[in-house]
Structure 1
Amino acid sequence: MRSRGSSRPLSKLTDARTTARLSAGCNSVRLPYDRSRVSPGIVHLGVGAFHRAHVAVYVDEILKRDSSWGIIGASLRRSDTRNALAPQDFLYTVVARDGAATTMRAIGSLLDVLDAHNQNRELIAAMTDPRIRIVSLTITEKGYCHDPATGALDPGHPDILHDLANPTAPVSAPGLLVRALELRRAAGIPPFTVLCCDNLPANGEVTARVVGSFARLRDTGLADFIAGEVAFPSSMVDRIVPATTDDDRRLVRETIGLHDAWPVVTEPYSQWVIEDRFPTGRPHFEAVGAELVKDVRPYELMKLRLLNGSHSTLAYLGYLAGYEFVSQAIAEPAFRTLIDELMTEEVMETLPRSVGDLSFYPAALLQRFANPALKHRTWQIAMDGSQKLPQRLLGTIRDRLARGKSITRAALGVAGWMRYVAGVDEQGRRIDVQDPLAKRLRAIADEAEGLPARYVDGMLRVSEVFGDELAESHVLRENLTGHLASLYRHGALQTVRNVIGVGR
C-alpha cells in the first residue's frame, strides 16, 4: 500500500516506471506490453466510463499479442474525458469490485481522446487513416438521432440539421461516419467496419439504417456505396459500470500511490458477443474472451429485456422509494421479489429458444445487482428513459399482449418511469430528470393535474416512445393507469408490495 499523501500523476512517469509503480502498489495492476509500439487500429466514438471498462479492456488484452489495434477515442458531447486523461497520457485504472475482493489494472489501449467539437478536423482525419479498420460506438441510445420506437433516423434532429448544413464539419455520429466514409471512398481507402456497442436491439442494423438514411439525404451515390461496401455487425455488451466518484479516486491513489484523475469502477463480470463480419480485418477478439457468432440478436434480446429491463424498473421504483443505490433497492425483499418475478414470469417467455437454457440467469442478475461495492446510483440508470424503454420494457409488453398474457410487472416499470419523469419525488422534492424529452414529458404531467388517466393518455401519445400499436392498447392503458394511481396514492414501495401479492 502506498502513501496516503502521494499525488504524483500517471503522466509524470514513463510507461515502464508507471508499470513498476503500479505493480508495487497492487500486484494485479500491470501494463504488460511496450505501449510505445502500439499503433491505432480503432476509432471509438463515445469514450465514456462503459467503453473504458469494457471494450478498451478487451483491446488492452489484445495488445499483448498484436500492437496494431490501439484506440483513438472521441468525445461527442463534452471535453471532460480528454481534459482528465490527457495529462496522464490517457492511461487510467480499471477497478473491479465485488463484496469479496477489489482488483486493479492499468489500461493503455486508449492512445488519445479527441473532442469532436474543438478537434473536428483531427477526428475526421483519424477516421480516414488507412490504419483504422474499425470505428466502434458507445454513444447511448440518444446518440443515434433516431426515433426509438421505430429505429428510423429523425431528419429533424438538431444535430442532423446541423450536419446537413455543414457536411464537412459534422457533430453527430451519423454525420461523422458518413463524412469519413465519403473521404475514404474518394481516396480509394477501403471502408472501416462500424461496430455498435450500445444497448439497442439489432444495434448494427439500427446503425446501418441511420447512417444510410443520413447519407441518402446528402448523396444517393454515397448511400449506395455504404449500403454495398460497409459492414455493420451487431454486438451485445454486458458489464455494470457506475459513475466514478471521489471515493473511487481516493481508493486508487491510496492503493497504487499515483493520482488517476478518472479511473473507472466496475464489476468482475464482463461479456461481449459480436457478429463476425469484418471485411477489412479485426483483432482476435475470441482470444481474449469475446464470443464471435453469426447472429447476435438472441443475446441482445436476452440482455436488453432481462438485465436492462430489470435495471430500469428497479431504478425508477427504487429512486421513488428513496433508495440511492441499486444494491440498496434490491436488498428490499419486495423489490427483489418483483424483479425476480418480472424476469421469470414475464420476460423469459418472450425470449427465443435459441438463447438456450437461461434458468440460471435471473438468479445471477439478482446477485450482480446486490453487489454492495459498486454503488450504482438509481438516478444514473434512470437517465434517458424515453430512449431506453422501447427496447428494455415495451418489447416485452408488446410480445405478451400479442399472446394475451399478463403485463402487470413490466407495466409497473413503465408506470414508475412516468411517475419519475413528472419531476417531483414522493417527498415533494424536485427530481433532476435527464432525458432528451424531459421538458415535454414534464409538460404532459403538469397538464394532467394529478389525474392518472389523463396523464397516461398524454404519455401514450408520445409516439417516439410508444409508437401507434401500444398507444391503442386498452390493456396497457388500464395497467398504467392503475399502477400510476397507486404510485401517487401509496408510494412505490407499497405499490410493489401490492403487485407481488397478486395471485398469491
Structure 2
Amino acid sequence: MSLPETILQFGAGNFLRAFADLFIAEANRGDDPPGKIVVVQSTGIERAEAINRAGGRYHVAVRGVQDGEVVDETVVVDSISRALHAGTQWDEVLAFASTLELRWILSNTTEAGFTLDDADAVRGDDAPVSFPAKLLAVLLARYEAGQAGVIVLPCELIENNAARLLELVKQQAARWSVEDAALAWITDECRWLNNLVDRIVPGTPRLHYLLAEDPLLIAAEPFAFWAIEDPRGCGFEHPAITATDDISSYYLRKVRILNGAHSALVCRALPLGIETVREAVEHPEVGPWLEKLLFTEIVPVLEGRCEDPAGFARATLDRFRNPFFEHRLSAIALNHDAKVAVRLQPTLADYRERFGREPELLSDVLSGVAVVAGGS
C-alpha cells in the first residue's frame, strides 16, 4: 500500500532516524498508519542525498541488554519518502507544507536550533537562517493555502520545548509583521506538544553485517521512551509513547541524570583522550568519579522531585555499559555549551540552594567547560 506524505521533519540526523522515524515505520505496518515523512536538511546536503539514493530505506541495529536479556536485532526503517535540502529546494518544502495531507511537523535541531537570527529580519523567498523562522515560513505557507492546522512535535531536549518554540515563532512573526489572523491560526489551530525523548543513539555500529551495503545504518539501544504532554497523545500510537498531562518530572530526571552524565563525561573524560562512553564508565578513575558525581551531587537535588532518581541513575550506568556500543564522546560534545547550560548548570544552582555549599565535583568540572567547548 502506498501511503501519503503526512509528516514534515526538520533534521536528518541519527537520533530522529532511530527514534521517531523508526516508530513511524513500525506504526505504518499497523491498522492505522500515520504516513510517510519528508525530511528537510538545513546543514549540508550529503545526508539528504544519501537518503534519496537509498529510497528512504535504511536499517537500525537495536542492541543492548533489556530485562536481563541480550537484544541484537536489525530493523528496517522505510518511513521516509524523500529528503529535501533547505538551501536549494525551499520552494519544494513550502509546496509540501501547503498540501492537504500534511498532519505533523517534527524536528530535532538540538538546543542550538532554538535561537533567532538577525539575518531573518525580513521575510524573503529563500530559506530563512534560523529554525524558528523556517518553521514560521512553513506555517505561513500552509495558512495562506487555506489548509488545516498541524501537530508540532519538536524533539529537541529542551524543557517545555513546544511552548518555547511557539514563543520563538511569535517573536519571529513580530519581526515579519505577521497579521493577527495568521498568528491566531498558528497559535490556536496548530497543536504544539511539549514532549520528552529518551533513547541512546550512538551512530554507525563499528561491526555489522550490513555496513558495506547500507551507508545509513545506525545503532540504537533497546530502551526507548517518548513522553507526550497531552492525554490525547500525538495522533499515532506506539508502545514507546506515553501520553500524560505533565511530563516535567520525566524531563527533569532524564536531562539531569542521563544527559547530565553524558555532558559531564565530555568535560572530564574527553580531555584525557577517552573516546567513548563505555570506555569512560569502565575507566579506573573516571568511572568511580562519575558514580560519585551522580549519587552524591546530582541525585540528591532530585530527591522528592521525580520518581526514584537513584534507580534511574543505576539504570543509566547500565545503559552506558552497553557492550555493543561505541558511543563517541565527540558526538555528545556537539553544541556543548548549550547542552551544559541545560544539563549541568541548573544542578549546580540547585545544589547550592538546597545544601548551602558548593558541589565539589560539579564545580570543578564546570570550571573547565570553556576550554572543552572551545575545541568542539
TM-score strictly above 0.5: yes
Corresponding residue number in structure 2 for 1:61: 26
| Contact 2:119–2:129, Cα closer than 8 Å, also in 1 | no
Give the Cα–Cα distance (whole angstroms) in 2 for the partners of residues 133 and 163 of structure 1. Answer: 28
- In structure 2, relative to structure 1, the CA distance for the partners of 1:390 and 1:83 (3 Å cut) is same
| Contact 2:263–2:333, Cα closer than 8 Å, also in 1 | yes
| 2:87 is the alignment partner of 1:117 | yes
| 2:254 is the alignment partner of 1:303 | yes
Corresponding residue number in structure 1 for 2:370: 418
Give the Cα–Cα distance (whole angstroms) in 2 for the partners of residues 144 and 57 of structure 1. Answer: 24
Code of the aligned partner of 2:144: A
Give the Cα–Cα distance (whole angstroms) in 1 for the partners of residues 343 and 193 of structure 2. Answer: 21
Deviation at 1:208, TM superposition (A): 1.2
* Equivalence map 1:465-484=2 (5 Å): none
Corresponding residue number in structure 2 for 1:219: 177
Deviation at 1:290, TM superposition (A): 0.7
* Equivalence map 1:148-159=2 (5 Å): 154=116, 157=117
| 2:11 is the alignment partner of 1:41 | no
SS of equivalent to 1:98: strand
Give the Cα–Cα distance (whole angstroms) in 2 for the partners of residues 144 and 370 of structure 1. Answer: 32
Give the Cα–Cα distance (whole angstroms) in 2 for the partners of residues 261 and 41 of structure 1. Answer: 26
- In structure 2, relative to structure 1, the CA distance for the partners of 1:282 and 1:369 (3 Å cut) is closer
Deviations along 1:243-270, whole A, 9 cap, x unmatched?
326x45x63157xxxx112111121111
| Contact 1:56–1:107, Cα closer than 8 Å, also in 2 | yes
Give the Cα–Cα distance (whole angstroms) in 2 for the partners of residues 42 and 350 of structure 1. Answer: 39
- In structure 2, relative to structure 1, the CA distance for the partners of 1:419 and 1:175 (3 Å cut) is closer
Corresponding residue number in structure 2 for 1:184: 142
Match of 2:230 among 270, 276, 291: 276
SS of equivalent to 1:395: helix
Deviation at 1:168, TM superposition (A): 5.6
* Equivalence map 1:242-391=2 (5 Å): 242-244=202-204, 247-248=206-207, 251-253=209-211, 259-276=213-230, 282-285=234-237, 287-351=238-302, 353=304, 355-391=306-342
| Contact 2:252–2:306, Cα closer than 8 Å, also in 1 | no
Deviation at 1:101, TM superposition (A): 4.7
Code of the aligned partner of 2:300: E
Give the Cα–Cα distance (whole angstroms) in 1 for the partners of residues 171 and 302 of structure 2. Answer: 30
- In structure 2, relative to structure 1, the CA distance for the partners of 1:418 and 1:168 (3 Å cut) is closer
| Contact 1:76–1:172, Cα closer than 8 Å, also in 2 | no
| Contact 2:196–2:227, Cα closer than 8 Å, also in 1 | yes
| Contact 1:39–1:70, Cα closer than 8 Å, also in 2 | yes
SS of equivalent to 2:344: helix
Code of the aligned partner of 1:229: E
Match of 1:102 among 62, 72, 80: 72
The structure in which a higher percent of residues are helix is: 1
Give the Cα–Cα distance (whole angstroms) in 1 for the partners of residues 161 and 39 of structure 2. Answer: 20
SS of equivalent to 2:289: helix
Corresponding residue number in structure 2 for 1:428: none
SS of equivalent to 1:103: strand
Which of the pair has more CA radius of gyration?
A: 1
Report % sequence identity. Answer: 26
Unaligned residue ranges in structure 2 (runs of 5+): none
The worse-fitting range, judged by mean Cα deviation, of 356-365 and 335-344 is: 335-344
Deviation at 1:352, TM superposition (A): 7.1
| Contact 2:159–2:251, Cα closer than 8 Å, also in 1 | yes
Deviation at 1:351, TM superposition (A): 3.1
Code of the aligned partner of 1:186: E
Give the Cα–Cα distance (whole angstroms) in 1 for the partners of residues 249 and 104 of structure 2. Answer: 24
Corresponding residue number in structure 2 for 1:230: 190
The worse-fitting range, judged by mean Cα deviation, of 164-173 and 260-269 is: 164-173
| Contact 1:90–1:110, Cα closer than 8 Å, also in 2 | yes
| Contact 1:313–1:413, Cα closer than 8 Å, also in 2 | yes
Deviation at 1:227, TM superposition (A): 3.0
Give the Cα–Cα distance (whole angstroms) in 2 for the partners of residues 217 and 277 of structure 1. Answer: 34
SS of equivalent to 1:360: helix
Corresponding residue number in structure 2 for 1:209: 167
- In structure 2, relative to structure 1, the CA distance for the partners of 1:183 and 1:301 (3 Å cut) is same
Deviation at 1:358, TM superposition (A): 2.9
SS of equivalent to 1:74: strand
SS of equivalent to 2:209: helix
Residue-pair matches, total: 368
- In structure 2, relative to structure 1, the CA distance for the partners of 1:351 and 1:127 (3 Å cut) is farther
SS of equivalent to 1:268: coil
Code of the aligned partner of 2:52: A
SS of equivalent to 2:61: strand
Give the Cα–Cα distance (whole angstroms) in 1 for the partners of residues 211 and 152 of structure 2. Answer: 37
